[in-house]
Amino acid sequence: MSIFVLVHGSWHDGSAWQAVVDHLEAKGHLAFAPTIAGHGKGVDKNVNHAQCTQSIVDYIVNKDLTDIVLLGHSFAGTIIAKVAEAISDHIQRLIFFNAFVLNDGESLRDNIPPDSLALFDSLAKESDDNTVMLSFDVWREAFINDADLELAQSSYAQLSPEPYQPFIDKLNLKQFYSLAISKSYLYCTEDTVLPQGEWGWHPRMSSRLGQFRFVQMPGSHEVMFSNPISLAEKIIEAGRD
Amino acid sequence: MSIFVLVHGSWHDGSAWQAVVDHLEAKGHLAFAPTIAGHGKGVDKNVNHAQCTQSIVDYIVNKDLTDIVLLGHSFAGTIIAKVAEAISDHIQRLIFFNAFVLNDGESLRDNIPPDSLALFDSLAKESDDNTVMLSFDVWREAFINDADLELAQSSYAQLSPEPYQPFIDKLNLKQFYSLAISKSYLYCTEDTVLPQGEWGWHPRMSSRLGQFRFVQMPGSHEVMFSNPISLAEKIIEAGRD
Amino acid sequence: MSIFVLVHGSWHDGSAWQAVVDHLEAKGHLAFAPTIAGHGKGVDKNVNHAQCTQSIVDYIVNKDLTDIVLLGHSFAGTIIAKVAEAISDHIQRLIFFNAFVLNDGESLRDNIPPDSLALFDSLAKESDDNTVMLSFDVWREAFINDADLELAQSSYAQLSPEPYQPFIDKLNLKQFYSLAISKSYLYCTEDTVLPQGEWGWHPRMSSRLGQFRFVQMPGSHEVMFSNPISLAEKIIEAGRD
* Chain segment B201-210, per-residue pLDDT in tens: 999 999 999 9
At residue B222 the predicted structure's pLDDT band, cuts being 50, 70 and 90, is very high
Are C213 and B149 in contact (CB < 8 Å)? no
Tell me how close the Cα of B149 comes to any Cα of chain C, in angstroms: 6
Q: What residue of A is the nearest CA neighbor of C199?
A: A203
Mean pLDDT of C158-186: 98
Contacts of C182 in chain B (CB under 8 A): 141
B94 touches B67 (CB < 8 A): no
3-state secondary structure of A81: helix
> So what's the pLDDT on residue B115?
87
Q: What residue of A is the nearest CA neighbor of B183?
A: A141
Query: How distant is the alpha carbon of residue C2 from its chain centre?
Result: 19
Interface probe, candidates C115, C138, C145, C227, chain A, greatest A C-beta count within 10 A: C145
DSSP β-ladder status, C91-97 and C182-188: parallel
Tell me how close the Cα of A111 comes to any Cα of chain C, in angstroms: 18
> So what's the pLDDT on residue B173?
98
Query: How distant is the alpha carbon of residue C116 from its chain centre?
Result: 18
What backbone phi and psi angles, to 5 degrees, belong to A72? -125, 130
Mean pLDDT of A127-139: 97
> So what's the pLDDT on residue A209?
98
Distance CA A91, CA A87 (A): 7
At residue B143 the predicted structure's pLDDT band, cuts being 50, 70 and 90, is very high
Strands (DSSP E) contained in A41-117 are 68-73, 91-97
B190 touches B121 (CB < 8 A): no
Taking only the tens place, the pLDDT of each residue in C18-34 is 999 999 999 999 999 99
The overall average pLDDT reported for chain A is 98
Q: Which residues pair with B71 in a beta bridge?
A: B6, B95
Count other C-beta atoms under 10 Å from residue C166's C-beta. 26
Measured between alpha carbons, how far is residue A39 from residues A159, A193, C225 in Å?
A: 9, 20, 44
Residues in chain C: 241
C171 touches C82 (CB < 8 A): yes
Tell me how close the Cα of A176 comes to any Cα of chain B, in angstroms: 32
Tell me how close the Cα of C157 comes to any Cα of chain A, in angstroms: 17
Count other C-beta atoms under 10 Å from residue C199's C-beta. 17
Distance CA A95, CA A164 (A): 24
Distance CA C117, CA B209 (A): 40
Are A142 and B202 in contact (CB < 8 Å)? no
What backbone phi and psi angles, to 5 degrees, belong to B36? -65, 145
Q: Which of residues 153-212 of C touch A (CB under 8 A)?
A: 189-190, 192, 195-197, 200
Distance CA A19, CA A30 (A): 13
Taking only the tens place, the pLDDT of each residue in A31-52 is 999 999 999 999 999 999 999 9
Helix axes B228-239, B18-26, angle to 10 degrees: 60
Q: Is the pLDDT of residue A170 over 90?
A: yes
Cβ neighbours of residue C123 under 8 Å, at least 6 residues apart? C132, C133
Contacts of B149 in chain C (CB under 8 A): 240-241
C32 touches C5 (CB < 8 A): yes
Burial zone of B162 (CB within 10 Å; 0-12 exposed, 13-18 middle, 19+ buried): buried
ipTM for the assembly:
0.96
> So what's the pLDDT on residue C115?
87
The overall average pLDDT reported for chain B is 98
At residue A115 the predicted structure's pLDDT band, cuts being 50, 70 and 90, is confident
A207 touches C195 (CB < 8 A): yes
B169 touches B102 (CB < 8 A): no
Contacts of A213 in chain C (CB under 8 A): 140-142, 145
**For chain A, percent of residues with pLDDT exceeding 70:** 100
Q: What residue of B is the nearest CA neighbor of C236?
A: B148
Q: Which residues pair with B213 in a beta bridge?
A: B184
Distance CA B171, CA B174 (A): 9
Assess whether the previous peptide bond of C203 is cis (omega < 30° from 0). yes
B39 touches B167 (CB < 8 A): no
Taking only the tens place, the pLDDT of each residue in B15-35 is 999 999 999 999 999 999 999
Count other C-beta atoms under 10 Å from residue B224's C-beta. 25
Assess whether the previous peptide bond of A161 is cis (omega < 30° from 0). no
Distance CA C232, CA C26 (A): 10
Exposure string for B76-111, b = 16+ CB within 10 A, e = fewer: bbbbbbbbbbbbeebbebbbbbbbbbbeeeebbbeb
Distance CA C144, CA C220 (A): 6
The DSSP symbol for B70 reads E
Distance CA A145, CA A192 (A): 9
Mean pLDDT of B87-110: 98
At residue C38 the predicted structure's pLDDT band, cuts being 50, 70 and 90, is very high
3-state secondary structure of B106: coil
Are C214 and B190 in contact (CB < 8 Å)? yes
Are B149 and C241 in contact (CB < 8 Å)? yes
Q: Is the pLDDT of residue A57 over 90?
A: yes
Contacts of B137 in chain C (CB under 8 A): 211
Mean pLDDT of B159-163: 98
From the list B33, B11, B10, the residue with the least C-alpha distance to B21 is B33
B194 touches B186 (CB < 8 A): no
CA angle C26, C28, C29 (to 5 degrees): 105
HEC sequence for A120-185: HHHHHHHCCCCEECCCHHHHHHHHCCCCCHHHHHHHHCCCCCEECHHHHCCCCCCCHHHCCCEEEE
> Please, which chains are in contact with C (at least 3 CB pairs closer than 8 A)?
A, B
Q: Could you say which of C140, C195, C218 has the minimum Cβ distance to residue A207?
A: C195
Distance CA A216, CA B189 (A): 14
Distance CA B70, CA B95 (A): 6
